[in-house]
Chain A
Amino acid sequence: MVLASDIQVAQNIGFGIIALMMILAGVGVIASRNVVHAALSLVVVMAGAAAQYVLLSAEFVAVTQVLVYIGAVMVLFLFGVMLTRAQLGKDADLNNKNAVIAAPVALLLFGVMAYALIDGFADDKIAATTGAGAQPQDTAAISDLIFKPYLLPFWALSFVLLAAVIGAIVLARKD
């Protein structure tokens, strides 16, 4: 039986608006003829993803998404666009001739994934994230997980980041 409190009208309306925004901005990323416009569309997608994380009661990841992606990665991208002097205006030479193959591949992939998802998770619900019975994500629980069972991957990730930073400097320096 579906109770009125299970439907979560407000969250669903919020999800719909944000999802529509993300899809439109995603089309902007893959279809824009202007590199800077595509990068700014990606900012909208990432902000929408952060909002979806809040809907999924993952506040810490949402804040990290805003700080790392919108704050750092996008600035890096805009610097990359400027330094490679890709034309800041329209650029007709942005796509190759693979669109004829790529469009069916992407559509087929989406069709298969959508079929599998609808078949597999038909009406499975996410536990209520607000109101009675809600279980807010505990940031302390995330840190307990990172520093106890996932400590070794955390170390490995630290080395990956260190290697990436050193590698990026070695690659990009002038002499």
Chain B
Amino acid sequence: MLINQFLLLGALLFCMGVYGVLTRKNAVMVLLSIELILNSVNINLLAFDAMNGGSDGNVFALYIIAVAAAEVGVGLAMVLLIYRNRKSISLDDLSEMKG
């Protein structure tokens, strides 16, 4: 197998995730797109790991999975809090920080 087929798949998923982050208005959907990005990075890490024949890439991928789990937990808690305070999770309505 060529390494490029995995790397291109990762790149495609990454760009899909970027598009999703930029276009979605719903906060939960933005978090879903971020998961897409993290998965594409994991594919890249494991492809390079298989090419170079160590196990370091596997360790990095496992750490990314753990960080992603923490990120989703805190992210959804924040979304829940925003929903409870404002009855809406539309990111376009959150403009208090705008100067």
Which of these, B39, B66, B80, contacts A84 with CB under 8 Å? B80
Query: What is the interface size of chain B, counting residues whose CB is below 8 A from a CB of the partner?
Result: 70
Return the CB mask of A15-59 against B: 1 if under 8 Å, else 0.
100010011001101100001001100100110010011011110
Q: Are B3 and A126 neighbours in the complex by a CB distance under 8 Å?
A: yes
A137 to B61, CA, bound (A): 14
CA distance in complex: A55, B9 (Å): 14
* Residues in chain A near residue B77, CB distance under 8 A: 167-169, 171-172
Of residues 1 through 49 on chain B, the ones whose CB sits less than 8 Å from some CB of chain A are 1-9, 11-20, 22-29, 31-33, 35-36, 39, 42-43, 46-47, 49
Given the known interface contacts A26-B13, A27-B16, A118-B4, the answer about A58 and B25 at a Cβ–Cβ threshold of 8 Å is: no
| Majority secondary structure, B binding face | helix
Main secondary structure of the interface of A (DSSP, over half): helix
Min CB gap A174→B, angstroms: 8
Residues of A within 8 A of B55 (CB): 137-138, 141-142, 145
A94 touches B26 (CB 8 A): yes
Contact status A35-B74, CB under 8 Å: no
What residues of chain A lie closer than 8 Å to B90, measured between beta carbons?
A: 93
User: CB < 8 Å: which of B14, B20, B32 contacts A113?
Assistant: B14
Q: How far is the CB of B29 from chain A (nearest CB, A)?
A: 6
Contacts of B12 in A (CB 8 A): 23, 26, 110
* B residues in contact with A169, CB < 8 Å: 77
List, sorted by A's number, 11 A–B pairs whose CB atoms are closer than 8 Å.
A56-B46, A56-B50, A61-B61, A65-B65, A96-B25, A121-B7, A122-B4, A125-B3, A127-B50, A150-B59, A157-B66
Given A11-B1, A110-B14, 13 more A-B residue pairs with CB atoms under 8 Å apart are: A12-B1, A52-B6, A56-B6, A61-B46, A61-B61, A69-B65, A79-B76, A117-B4, A121-B3, A124-B51, A137-B58, A150-B59, A171-B80
What is the interface of chain A, defined by CB distance below 8 A to chain B? 8, 11-12, 15, 19, 22-23, 26-27, 29-30, 35, 38-39, 42, 45-46, 49, 52-53, 55-58, 60-61, 64-65, 68-69, 72-73, 76-77, 79-81, 83-86, 91, 93-96, 98-99, 101-103, 105-107, 109-110, 113-114, 117-118, 121-127, 129, 135, 137-138, 141-142, 145-146, 150, 153-154, 157, 160-161, 163-165, 167-169, 171-172
B contact residues vs A (CB 8 Å cutoff): 1-9, 11-20, 22-29, 31-33, 35-36, 39, 42-43, 46-47, 49-51, 53, 55-59, 61-63, 65-74, 76-81, 83, 89-92
